[in-house]
Structure 1
Amino acid sequence: MLAKYTCVTFLVFCKLVICLALLFSFFSGYAQDFMFSGNRTKQSIPFKCIKNLIVIPLFVNGKGPYDFVLDTGVGPLIITEPAIIDSLNFSTMRKIKLSGLGVENVDAYVSQNVSAQLGGAKIKYIPTAVLKEDLFNLSGHLGIKIFGLIGFDFFNSFVIDIRYSSNHLIFYDLKRKVKYRGSKVPILIERNKPYIVAEVEIDDTTKVRTRLLIDTGASHALSMEMLDGNAFPAPVHKIKASLGMSLSGQIKGYVGRIGKFNLGGYVFDDVVAGFPDFESISSKIDLTKRNGNLGGEILRKFDVQFNYQESFLYLKPNANRKKAFQHDMLGMVVYFEQNQFNRVLIGEIDEDSPAERAGFCPQDEIIGIDFKSINTYTLNDINELFKSWPNRTIIFEIYRDNRVFFKFVRLEKRI
């Protein structure tokens, strides 16, 4: 079952995530690829990297471009803003109920009459799931209007080169000779999703081989979920955290550090990882296919070339390779109000965090930071500020209950 966490948090699960396992049966046997027109065999386009997510300009039914998240963790195209399809008639579309972690009886509609285009590459009929409304506020958590996610059909059509070093996406016709860069690592494509094997050092004496979903649509570094049918062992030093917000409530768990993580021969120390509550997630999603999830915080340390057809990728370290993994030192989520994107609000607040001790409340509006208007900051700026350095004091100007006041908070290294 494909599981997606339905919230962006500063801790771990910065993405729209939704359970779409039912759609595989509807789209099985329905195969079509993106194709270049004319003699083109290669194209390069810039992308926005926001909270480690790749945002690309996609045309839908000849209109756009619209900002979509490029997400290896999804199968069909997912549209979260149906207004972009003027001719959409829900009464003629097949209606299904989505269920899974954080998704309880949400309406979605299945369409095979949607066309898409990225650069010069087009697909006439792309399997599509349409939500009648954006229930998950991915736009608010990224600070720009996001219209959906695109995944397998694009990755399966080309050799995909994600240059995190320059924020460029290069894609090649499968018949073109490609110059690969870096180290070759095998992957497995199963039910339209890519998996990779990596070695995790749980403690000084225990190393385990893990099977991880490669997820460009996840902002975190690692999510460790299951080992030998039980919860993946969390480190001794960890903190309680809200790892995401679902429609049915908060996804609880812990955040800690993995001692060593070996990906294709590249070893990382002290990797920040999330450990979601096993009882909560194992009852709603299938963990038998994986031990966890590998996200953008690690992937962006490389330029990555994917070849789904031949089941491998290449990893070439970039300038981010040696940057230490930092965890949020404040303990709260911030996001843009969904409709106008002109108000920054506080979401979940971690237990016993500097934010909780300072008396912040959910739905507080931040109107200034360090005596600068909040309009001068992007969400990336704010999140990097929260990870800057221990003992740094940040001054917040807060609007609550028709009054404005200031709060001084000192950042604290919590793991």
Structure 2
Amino acid sequence: MLILKKILLFFALIFLFESSYSQSRYQFYGKEDVKQKLPFKLINNLIVIPVQVNGQDLSFILDTGVNKTILFNLSDKDSIGLNQVRRIKLKGLGNGKPVHALISKNNNFRVSKIVNYNEDLYVILREDLNFSAKMGVAIHGIIGYNLLKDVIVKINYKTKTLTFYNPKKYEVKPCRKCETFDLKFFRNKPYINTAIQLDTIGEKLTDTKLLIDSGGSDALWLFEETKEDIKTPKKFFNDILGEGLSGTIYGNRSKVPKFVLGKYVIKEPTVSFLDTTTTVNARVFKDRNGSIGGAILRRFKVWLDYPNKKVVFKKNSSLKKGFYYNMSGLIVVYDGQQLIKEEEQVAVKNPFGLSSSSELTSDSDVFSFVSKFSYNFKPLFKIQEVIEGSPAHEVGLLKDDVITKINGKSAHLYTLDEINGMFVLEPNLKVTLEIERDGIPYKYKFKLKRRI
């Protein structure tokens, strides 16, 4: 999927300038020390959970692709006290230079009723790293290994719930319909063995070792040149895949015939073949061939068992659904709030007892319907980018157009995730957009179209 430009895909961070060896640990507390259940938001295939940091309630992405806890984009309302702070530099994906950051030690973290009183926190000092606009909700940071190493977690993408189990009290239940894999860790990131059919001719499968990356919204990443068979198919399109910690990520988008996850066969998943230069840090683990992202993970119920180095998959009802890229050519972002006038019909008692067709009567009273108006702040969405040659581009939609209605429904009644989700439903689906450009309203119609 092209939506959100995959900014959140690229936090497989390599810390070149700082290593931390603190003995921080998450522990269950209270009477419910066997398991804790936590609802999450699923946005663009990413898991967003509430995390309390030094007493402040924040929102983090649960990301198996990161080995450090990272904080960014705090507003004045979200400001928190940080302990034992000093400056460092970090290097991640992208072709830019290392970025300035802070490391803060001995912070108090709480996830549900699981606490850590000695968490290291890395604070990114990049003002342009604004995930909230791309997600449509406030995103303050990402958390991964530091939490997951101390728990066993079941991710239920259908019910949007996480269940954290205490490893000391967890009992493994037999599951004949499940598939269990051994986890191999490199720099505290989990890898499993899979297989991919890359050629449309024949049934040859190529063995691959992939990172489990719940912080990636794509289905698959593959790294060319890590194996002879891994190369971009003939049908592809080049694209900016997103922004990493150290700059822009480039690559080719395509599809492959088949992805094999144990006994599960997933047909025609979307794949991004990443540019070698901007992903050099992701290739430090020489055995790695790519990643499995949220577009595949969400088709399963997943048990992550870091303490015992296991992961378990059980398919859900979405396993056989198709994979599509953004077929509109639009990149839509949240752009703050706007004041909307809303009308509501309210029944009021008629003191004169007169009745009309627009009035409601009871045995003793007569009520009239009147319009009540209120002004409320609602989300504002705008077009950040229009891909050249796309259906949206061909009908005349432009960058910075403000979206007012989608298929006849006011845009503010949707979430950003719902809007982006419309563009990956199915080919030939009709979309009607009403927009404002320099204060003038326009209306456009187009059909979603496959790019490959």
One fold, TM greater than 0.5?
Answer: yes
Please say if residues 216 and 295 of structure 1, whose CA atoms lie closer than 8 Å, have aligned partners that are also in contact: yes
Residue number among 58, 79, 82 corresponding to 2:51 in the alignment = 58
Distance 1:232 1:333, change over 3 A: farther
SS at match of 1:218: coil
Partner of 1:198 in structure 2? 194
Residues 31-86 of structure 1, C-alpha deviation per residue, up to 9 Å, x if partnerless? Answer: 2211011441211111111111111111111232x211111111121111345353
Corresponding position: 1:161 with 2:154: yes
Task: Quote the RMSD (CA, aligned, Å).
Answer: 2.6
Residues 354-392 of structure 1, C-alpha deviation per residue, up to 9 Å, x if partnerless? Answer: 223233333222222122211011122212211223222
Gaps of 5+ in 1: 1-7
Please say if residues 240 and 350 of structure 1, whose CA atoms lie closer than 8 Å, have aligned partners that are also in contact: no
Partner of 1:86 in structure 2? 80
Rounded to whole Å, the distance in 2 between the matches of 1:210 and 1:288 is 12
Rounded to whole Å, the distance in 1 between the matches of 2:388 and 2:123 is 36
Corresponding position: 1:99 with 2:95: no
- Residue 155 of structure 1 deviates from its aligned partner by 0.6
Rounded to whole Å, the distance in 2 between the matches of 1:160 and 1:388 is 30
Partner of 1:130 in structure 2? 123
Please say if residues 139 and 338 of structure 1, whose CA atoms lie closer than 8 Å, have aligned partners that are also in contact: no
Residue range with higher mean Cα deviation, 176-185 or 198-207: 176-185
Partner of 1:117 in structure 2? 110
Distance 1:162 1:248, change over 3 A: closer
Distance 1:16 1:222, change over 3 A: closer
Residues 298-347 of structure 1, C-alpha deviation per residue, up to 9 Å, x if partnerless? Answer: 00111100111221111111111121222221122111126888221223
Partner of 1:257 in structure 2? 255
- Residue 270 of structure 1 deviates from its aligned partner by 0.6
Partner of 1:149 in structure 2? 142
Rounded to whole Å, the distance in 2 between the matches of 1:16 and 1:325 is 17
SS at match of 2:65: coil
Rounded to whole Å, the distance in 1 between the matches of 2:282 and 2:213 is 19
Residues 121-176 of structure 1, C-alpha deviation per residue, up to 9 Å, x if partnerless? Answer: 10001111012455322111111101111100111001111111211101111111
Rounded to whole Å, the distance in 1 between the matches of 2:47 and 2:154 is 12
Corresponding position: 1:184 with 2:180: yes
Please say if residues 53 and 218 of structure 1, whose CA atoms lie closer than 8 Å, have aligned partners that are also in contact: yes
User: Quick check: which has more Rg, 1 or 2?
Assistant: 2
Distance 1:37 1:23, change over 3 A: farther
Q: Which letter does structure 2 place at the counterpart of 1:75?
A: N
SS at match of 2:106: coil
Rounded to whole Å, the distance in 1 between the matches of 2:119 and 2:387 is 40
Rounded to whole Å, the distance in 2 between the matches of 1:213 and 1:48 is 23
Rounded to whole Å, the distance in 1 between the matches of 2:188 and 2:244 is 24
Partner of 1:364 in structure 2? 401
Gaps of 5+ in 2: 339-377
Aligned length: 404
Please say if residues 248 and 278 of structure 2, whose CA atoms lie closer than 8 Å, have aligned partners that are also in contact: no
Please say if residues 59 and 117 of structure 1, whose CA atoms lie closer than 8 Å, have aligned partners that are also in contact: yes
Rounded to whole Å, the distance in 1 between the matches of 2:405 and 2:209 is 43
Please say if residues 140 and 337 of structure 1, whose CA atoms lie closer than 8 Å, have aligned partners that are also in contact: yes
Partner of 2:317 in structure 1? 319
SS at match of 1:125: strand
Distance 1:372 1:129, change over 3 A: same
Could you state the TM-score of these two structures normalised by the residue count of structure 2?
A: 0.82
Distance 1:111 1:338, change over 3 A: farther
Partner of 2:346 in structure 1? none
| Aligned sequence identity (%) | 33
Residues 241-320 of structure 1 mapped to structure 2, 5 A cutoff: 241-245=239-243, 250-282=248-280, 286=284, 288-320=286-318
